[in-house]
A and B are shown apart, each in its own frame.
Chain A
């Protein structure tokens, strides 16, 4: 699982739209506090989609950061139920 972090909630929404338009499943989640104290939202995608994500974002200046979500993180445990 990859967390995609953006500078603002609006840019996260723009990215969400880009991924939706390209048929890439993603979830909107709170940005984990240990990564960022901005109170924002990030997107989470399955690792298998990352090349498609990069292609979808190609040419846009979204300021995205890709962060691997470790298997023992609280976020991953919540998302995987």
Chain B
């Protein structure tokens, strides 16, 4: 079997991730931040190390600003619903995932105003148009850092500078870029960077979070309140970080394993993994460009993307191609809209969607060659 759906979740996980997960579940199963006995202290230290690693990797100067959640969607909801009030105006990109779009469509019903900034056909922001979209009541600009459909990487530094200039909070959906692309949260004026642990950070599902600026954290309302393992005598939620936003027992096993995933990433080198993914993307493009009926969506130049490629074979719907790849060749790819209808509208692939291949650290040249042969075979069958 060939797994090419790493944008959904990376697979396989490094052996060290399994060891860390197993070690917590079998040998030291205490809760982080709960209890004062040896195991609890040891686990708390290790989970805190994961905060340190994430802050360092993503360019934030304070590990206490790393807030753990269950995934990026949870983190994005936390920011949107904890910040916005009726009559606030929000700007989003036309490449957004439903993780951003759906909560905002829900908030529109409470009086929040929403505008969508059109992007150019390859899924890249038009920086020259952006300033025209800011209004007096604009509170937040939210953009996806890297598209989950085309892999297009946005110029976050430049977008952040414009958000700061207009006094607007800046939220980045970093689900596809955390661990893969260089990110400098503090230097780029990012107020909230949402990440997930189970994609390019090579951790398990059920881990994610958001890194907040102090300014945003101080006014953000917590969505979930409850026990934090701190100031237990108080009946009110603590105001300090990360406790303000982390109530209830966290996925301790998962975050310890995420720490091992980050170690794997650092050992391999994020830039090396990105380079590897881009080489595989380039290879696939070169091998399928001549295949009858192939149409690629998004940038051809892999330097503008991560290892994600969306395409279609003319006259065959994406789900049929997916099914043939799966059943006949044992190749697993994603077909459809990838929870991002806006992005497909921008790229010109709505409503049918595309076939998406997404690479990871463990994919090989041979696997891409097999995929290319399979696509050629399928195109000839039609």
Binding site for B on A (CB under 8 A): 7-11, 13-14, 16-17, 28-31, 37-41, 63
Contacts and interface: CB of A to CB of B under 8 A. Distances in A.
Given A8-B240, A38-B233, A13 B228 contact: no
Nearest to A42: B36
A46 B63 CA distance: 27
A65 to B, nearest CB: 14
B48 A14 contact: yes
Interface of B: 33, 36, 41, 44-45, 48-49, 51-52, 63-64, 228-233, 238, 240-243
26 contacts: A7-B231, A7-B240, A8-B229, A8-B230, A8-B243, A9-B229, A10-B33, A10-B51, A10-B64, A10-B241, A10-B243, A13-B48, A14-B63, A14-B64, A17-B49, A28-B45, A37-B233, A38-B231, A38-B232, A38-B233, A39-B232, A40-B36, A40-B230, A40-B231, A41-B36, A41-B44
A74 to B, nearest CB: 14
Q: Chain A interface mostly helix, strand, loop or mixed?
A: mixed
Nearest to A6: B230
Contacts of A37: 232-233
B21 to A, nearest CB: 21
B45 A40 contact: no
Contacts of B229: 8-9, 39-40
B36 A30 contact: yes
Nearest to A60: B62
A11 B232 contact: no
Given A10-B33, A37-B233, A41-B36, A16 B45 contact: yes
